[in-house]
């Protein structure tokens, strides 16, 4: 490198990745973006990115860090180790921050492949949604070596309101995120069930929403997601299929520990049913659409 600028590439410019990339730009980091969506790449360049496009070949060797905010383990592996993969193009000492929600086993497997290349890995799932990502205030639950934390400190400072250092063992961050997703998925499913019952009972959903969000039954997920139901807007910020994937990880984790999860198992079945009914690409609040015999805002009674 010819200067001392810190260079980071954000791979995956969806709602969370775009917010994280913009936060890196705002923090003064030289920021690159990778996504197959050309409109997202154009938007990031307009926001001040050094470059953005469908691959990182032109600048991979200059990077200090890579932040993966893709959907699943398969996408992580494709980015790093697939045809024209990024990992072999990175300089030794570059840090790879894996922030997708994936299994602990997958994080350990990726770390084992990156280590012989001289690459550092941080197992660092994130939470907070698009709004927190845009503000640089995501919650990061991370595990990895001290060297990985130190190398990624500029990125963590840029994108996170809170960073929880879970431990040195890769996989601990992934496990904490999976447990978190148990709660998130159950809260959305329970919120949908409550609002469906209100609809069946003839309670105006905007009234029910106001009552709950100002009373003890509220949760962050209820307040955020059930607003979409009240507005009849299922534009996907986090899709039903995301929670099919995440709650599958929850149930598989529990099975590996021979541990019963009755609520999470029911929530998984609800999301899987919603996906099977054709709502998989809609906002995850669309899990409410599987309840028959109710009329929802913007939807005719079924």
Q: Find where tokens 């932040």 sit.
A: 67
- Angle at which helices 104-114 and 172-200 cross, to 10°: 150
Whats the size of the chain, residue-wise?
A: 302
What are the Cα distances from residue 138, in Å, to 66, 111, 168, 178? 17, 23, 21, 16
Q: Give the side-chain half-sphere CA count within 13 A for 275.
A: 17
Report the candidate in 98, 41, 90 with the shortest Cα–Cα distance to residue 68: 98
φ/ψ bin of 167: left (φ > 0), alpha (ψ from -120 to 50), beta (otherwise):
left
Report how far apart, in Å, the C-alpha atoms of 268 and of each of 85, 151, 197, 243, 280 are: 33, 37, 19, 8, 13
* Active-site residue set: 177
Query: Of 35, 114, 39, 90, whose CA–CA distance to 68 is shortest?
Result: 35
Give the three-state DSSP class for 76. Answer: helix
């Amino acid at each position: 490198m010819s200067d001392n600028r810190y260079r980071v590439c954000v791979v995956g410019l969806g709602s969370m990745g775009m917010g994280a990339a913009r936060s890196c730009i705002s923090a003064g980091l030289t920021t690159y973006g990778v996504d197959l969506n050309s409109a997202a790449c154009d938007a990031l360049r307009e926001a001040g990115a050094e470059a953005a496009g469908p691959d990182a070949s032109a600048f991979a060797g200059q990077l200090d860090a890579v932040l993966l905010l893709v959907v699943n383990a398969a996408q992580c592996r494709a980015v790093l180790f697939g045809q024209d993969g990024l990992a072999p193009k990175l300089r030794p000492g570059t840090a790879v921050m894996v922030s997708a929600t994936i299994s602990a086993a997958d994080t350990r497997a990726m770390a084992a492949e990156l280590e012989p290349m001289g690459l550092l890995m941080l197992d660092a799932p994130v939470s907070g949604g698009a709004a927190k990502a845009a503000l640089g205030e995501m919650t990061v639950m991370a595990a990895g070596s001290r060297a990985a934390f130190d190398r990624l400190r500029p990125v963590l400072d840029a994108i996170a309101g809170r960073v929880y250092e879970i431990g040195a063992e890769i996989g601990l961050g992934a496990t904490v995120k999976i447990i978190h997703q148990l709660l998130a998925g159950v809260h959305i499913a329970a919120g949908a069930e409550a609002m469906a019952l209100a609809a069946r009972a003839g309670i105006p959903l905007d009234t029910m929403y106001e009552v709950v969000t100002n009373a003890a039954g509220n949760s962050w997920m209820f307040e955020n997601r059930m607003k979409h139901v009240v507005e009849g807007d299922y534009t996907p910020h986090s899709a039903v299929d995301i929670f099919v994937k995440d709650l599958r990880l929850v149930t598989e984790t529990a099975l590996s520990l021979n541990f019963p999860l009755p609520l999470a198992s029911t929530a998984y079945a609800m999301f899987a049913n919603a996906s099977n009914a054709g709502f998989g690409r809609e906002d995850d609040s669309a899990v409410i659409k599987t309840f028959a015999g109710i009329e929802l805002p913007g939807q005719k009674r079924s």
